[in-house]
């Protein structure tokens, strides 16, 4: 099953010469599996020997094998992304000092010196539109209480009652930082690059590129929910840029009858009629192939039609929730108006990873609480708390949590100081994310912000450290995922956060 094709380094659209080995990576969402099937069919023939090192100088580059380079701890990833910026201060990072010094300016508090004179303040941030964001100076007290949860005693705010019951399975990282203080940080959170640097492959697309599939009938990288708006990276947050569109996330509608683009010819066409057509197609392609022996593109195309036909069946099946019990549905909050929408996404995420989808990316919008933080966050958390907890519990009870890495993130935190008297502004200097399952050490807290939750000060992690952790758990070494012509910097790779790994 192992495929090793060498190819000459070249960059079609900054990518790889698909045609020379399109039977492999060019297969898009069926990817290597199709390559493998063709290999089984003997399609490759002498392919491997004909190429090899084109230049004697550079070592020959080869596309990823689709196999984990390290021992994998997870098979799949569920990536929960909160668009707009969730307040770390009202969620996972309690700062009693904010209550103590509420109403004072940061300067007036004992921490002013440390905040503004920190080497990270402003220097790390690349300001959108050229003007630095104003310092939200007046400290704003915590808007919700905290208490210790579970056996680990990790503090989670009272706004997250359901997630709090899962605390011993999650590992909170309180020391994330990023460099964009506007919402294009959404793109940055997924590609590791500030939008000024342009567009780069997203984490999910790297996983897609690096790993083979576990299900020949489903896309490997599925996206649910509304992506960031165009200003903030848009579909770039699940795009593949130079890896090529076949590695991008496939955005699905939550509609079991027509979830895929061009997924149905409409009700006026009969399945039997279509099957009859495909029978003729196969016959005609086979006849034409006589003149073109060894035409890999043709072989791949024939297979792709069969796969498409199977996908048309498999995807709606995966999206139909009819078979789920009432208990499961209420676990995810499908029976309540507030939680139904995100609950559905979470339940679908479980169904997808159950079927071998590698990367499921869920978006939840509307966290940008510049004012009315209480109303905003209590509502947004209310929509997601139970579905997320339901997902973790369901995965656990099905024995899937061990092999599924769940990551919860947001583009940045929110300022310790108040904005508009009752809100908090964007805050790239320190914020929280958490991970669960997939070989993550549950019940841990890693890293810390300073006393007022401003700067990440202990175990600082740029967003790509989170990417590195995900890839590490999947058994991928990002440095083996190089693409010729696209030099990656050290910061692009990040470093796995070993302290959260079991």
Partner 1 sequence: MPPRLPLMCLAIAATLSSPAQPLHAADRPAAASVDYQRQVKPIFRQHCWACHGALKHESGLRLDAAQLIRKGSDDGPVLVAGQPEKSLLWQKVNARLPDRMPPEGKPLSADELATLKAWISQGAPAPQSEQPPTNPLNHWSFTPIRRPSVPQPDSRSKHSRTRNPIDAFVAARHKAANLTPRPQADRSTLLRRVVLDLTGLPPTRDQQHRFAADTAAGAYERLVERILLSPLYGQRWGRHWMDVWRYSDWYGRRSSNEIRYSQRHIWRWRDWIIEALNDNTGYDRMLLEMLAADEIAPGDDNALRATGFLGRNWYKFDRNTWLFETVERTSQGLLGLTFRCARCHDHKFDPVTQNEYYRFRAFFEPHGFRTEIVSAEVKTEVDNGKSTVLSDGLPRVFDEKLDAPTFLFIRGDDRNPDTDNPLSPGVPAALGGKRFDKTPITPITLPPIAYVPILRPAEAAKRLKTETQKVVATHKLLTTLETTIRTTATQLATARKSPPPDDSPNRLAFSDTFKSLDKKAWKVVSGNWSARDGMLVQTDLGTFLTLVSTTDHPRNFKLTLKYRTLAPGNPRSVGFSFDYAGPKQSHDIYTAIAPNSPTPSIQAFHRTGGKEIYPQAGIRKAPSLKLGQDILLEATVIDRSLTIVLDGKTVLEYALPMERRNGKFALWAHRAHVEFDEIQIHAIRPTIKSLEQSLLLARRDLPVKQAQAALAQAQLDSLAARIAAEQARHQHDQAAGDKLAMAASRAEGEAGVARASLKLAQAPGQAASKALVTAIAARDAADGSYTRFKATYPTTSTGRRTALARWMTRRDNPRTARVAINQIWLRHTGNRFVNTVADFGIRSKPREFPQLMDWLAAELIDSGWDMKHIHRLIVTSATFRRSSAPGNEPAELINREVDPDNRLLWRMNSRRMEAEVVRDSLLAISGTLDTAFGGPDIPEAKGQTSPRRSLYFRTTPDNKMLMLELFDLANPNECYDRQQSVVPGQALVMTNSPLALDRSRRLARQLASEITGRLGPTTDANRDLVTADFITAAFESVLGRGPGREEQAACTAFVSRNARLLADTRSLKSFPAGAGSVVAASSDPFARALENLVHILLSHNDFVTIR
Which residues ranging from 115 to 134 are in contact with partner 1 (CB under 8 A)? Answer: 128-130
Should residue 22 be labelled a site residue for partner 1 when binding is judged by CB under 8 A?
yes
Can you tell me the distance from the alpha carbon of 236 to that of 227, in angstroms, rounded to the nearest whole number?
A: 9
Cβ proximity to partner 1: between 75 and 251 the closer is 251
235 belongs to the binding site for partner 1 (CB under 8 A): yes
Q: Is 45 in the site for partner 1 (CB under 8 A)?
A: yes
Q: Say if CB 353 and CB 397 are below 8 A apart.
A: no
Is residue 345 close enough to count as binding partner 1 by CB under 8 A?
no
- The answer to whether 319 and 373 have CB atoms below 8 angstroms apart is no
| 154 SS3 class | strand
CB 56, min distance to partner 1, A? 10
Distances (CA, A) of 326 to 274, 321, 387, 476: 36, 11, 14, 38
18-12-247 Cα angle (round to 5): 60
* Residue 262 lies near partner 1 (rule: CB under 8 A): yes
Using the minimum distance from each CB to partner 1, give the nearer residue, 168 or 482: 482
Segment lying near partner 1 (by CB under 8 A), choices 16-24, 135-143, 413-421, 493-501 = 16-24
Output Rg (C-alpha) for the chain, integer angstroms: 24
Region binding partner 1 by CB under 8 A among candidate stretches 53-61, 79-87, 347-355, 442-450: 53-61
- Nearest one of 112, 134, 113 to 122, comparing CA atoms: 134
Q: What is the secondary structure of 276-293 as a DSSP string?
A: HHHHHHHHHHHHHHTTST
Would you state the torsion angle of the CA atoms of residues 346, 180, 426, 456, taken in this order, to the nearest 10 degrees? 90
CB of 276 to partner 1, least distance (A): 5
Cβ 25 to partner 1 shortest distance, Å: 9
Identify which of residues 94 and 227 has a Cβ nearer to partner 1 in the complex.
Answer: 227
Say whether residue 271 binds partner 1 (CB under 8 A).
yes
Q: Binding of partner 1 at residue 12 (CB under 8 A)?
A: yes
Query: Is 261 a residue that touches partner 1 (CB under 8 A)?
Result: yes
Do 85 and 413 meet the contact criterion of CB atoms below 8 Å apart?
yes
- What is the bridge-based pairing of β-strands 413-419 and 404-410? unpaired
Q: What is the DSSP letter of 132?
A: P
Which structure tokens are listed for 76?
A: 């799949």
Tokens of 297: 């593109």
Q: Which of residues 138-157 bind partner 1 (CB under 8 A)?
A: none
- 81 makes contact with partner 1 (CB under 8 A): no
196: its two tokens: 């000024």
Candidates 233-241, 333-341, 416-424, 437-445: pick the segment binding partner 1 (CB under 8 A): 233-241
CB 437 within 8 A of CB 163: no
The residues, any chain, with a CB within 8 Å of residue 438's CB and separated by 6 or more, are: 73, 74, 76, 77, 401, 402, 403, 404, 405, 406, 473
Q: Segment near partner 1 (CB under 8 A), from 47-55, 327-335, 397-405, 422-430?
A: 47-55
Q: Does 269 bind partner 1 (CB under 8 A)?
A: yes
Three-state DSSP at 440 gives strand
Residue 45 beta carbon to partner 1: minimum distance, rounded to whole angstroms: 8
Using CB under 8 A, pick the residue from 53, 60, 254, 288 that binds partner 1.
288
The angle formed by the CA atoms of residues 255, 258 and 264, to the nearest 5 degrees, is 175
Q: Verify binding: residue 366, partner 1, rule CB under 8 A.
A: no
Q: How far is the CB of 333 from partner 1 (least distance, A)?
A: 27
Pair of tokens at residue 252 = 């699905």
> What 8-state DSSP symbol labels residue 160?
-
Check binding of 438 to partner 1 (CB under 8 A).
no
**Binding partner 1 by CB under 8 A: which of 199, 209, 454, 462?**
199
183 vs 380 by CB, closer to partner 1: 183
Decide: is 298 part of the binding site for partner 1 (CB under 8 A): yes
- Does the footprint of partner 1 cover residue 266 (CB under 8 A)? yes
Among 2, 42, 50, 421, binds partner 1 (CB under 8 A): 50
């Amino acid at each position: 099953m192992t495929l090793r094709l060498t190819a000459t380094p070249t960059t079609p659209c900054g990518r790889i010469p698909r045609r020379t080995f399109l039977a492999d990576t060019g297969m898009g969402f069926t990817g290597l599996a199709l390559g493998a099937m063709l290999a089984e069919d003997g399609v490759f023939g002498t392919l491997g020997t004909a190429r090899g090192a084109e230049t004697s100088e550079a070592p020959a580059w080869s596309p990823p094998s689709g196999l984990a380079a390290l021992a994998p701890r997870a098979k799949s990833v569920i990536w929960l992304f909160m668009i707009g910026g969730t307040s770390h201060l009202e969620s996972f990072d309690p700062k009693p000092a904010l209550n103590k010094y509420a109403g004072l300016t940061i300067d007036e508090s004992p921490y002013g010196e440390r905040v503004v004179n920190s080497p990270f303040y402003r220097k790390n941030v690349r300001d959108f539109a050229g003007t630095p964001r104003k310092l939200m100076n007046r400290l704003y007290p915590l808007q919700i209480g905290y208490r210790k949860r579970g056996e680990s005693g990790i503090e989670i705010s009272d706004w997250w009652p359901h997630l709090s019951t899962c605390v011993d399975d999650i590992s909170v990282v309180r020391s994330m930082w990023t460099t964009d203080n506007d919402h294009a940080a959404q793109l940055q959170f997924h590609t590791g690059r500030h939008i000024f640097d342009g567009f780069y492959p997203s984490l999910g697309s790297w996983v897609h590129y690096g790993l083979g599939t576990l299900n020949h009938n489903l896309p490997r990288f599925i996206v649910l929910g509304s992506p960031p708006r165009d200003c903030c990276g848009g579909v770039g947050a699940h795009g593949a840029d130079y890896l090529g569109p076949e590695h991008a996330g496939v955005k699905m509608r939550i509609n079991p009858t027509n979830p895929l683009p061009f997924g149905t010819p409409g009700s006026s066409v009969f399945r039997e009629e279509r099957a009859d057509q495909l029978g003729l197609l196969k016959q005609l392609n086979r006849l034409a192939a006589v003149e073109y022996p060894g035409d890999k593109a043709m072989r791949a195309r024939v297979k792709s039609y069969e796969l498409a036909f199977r996908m048309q069946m498999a995807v709606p099946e995966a999206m139909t929730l009819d078979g789920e019990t009432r208990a499961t549905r209420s676990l995810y909050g499908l029976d309540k108006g507030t939680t139904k929408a995100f609950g559905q996404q979470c339940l679908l995420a479980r169904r997808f990873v159950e079927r071998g989808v590698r990367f499921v990316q869920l978006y939840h919008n509307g966290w940008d609480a510049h004012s009315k933080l209480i109303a905003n966050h209590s509502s947004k958390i209310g929509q997601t708390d139970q579905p997320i907890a339901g997902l973790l519990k369901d995965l656990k009870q099905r024995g899937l949590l061990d092999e599924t890495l769940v990551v919860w993130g947001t583009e940045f935190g929110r300022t310790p100081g108040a904005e508009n008297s009752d809100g908090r502004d964007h805050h790239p200097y320190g914020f929280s994310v958490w991970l669960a399952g997939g070989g993550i050490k549950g019940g841990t807290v890693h890293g810390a912000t300073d006393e007022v939750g401003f700067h990440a000060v202990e175990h600082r992690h740029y967003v790509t450290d989170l990417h590195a952790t995900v890839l590490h758990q999947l058994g991928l070494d990002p440095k083996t995922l190089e693409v010729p012509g696209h030099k990656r910097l050290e910061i692009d790779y990040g470093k796995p956060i070993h302290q959260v790994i079991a």
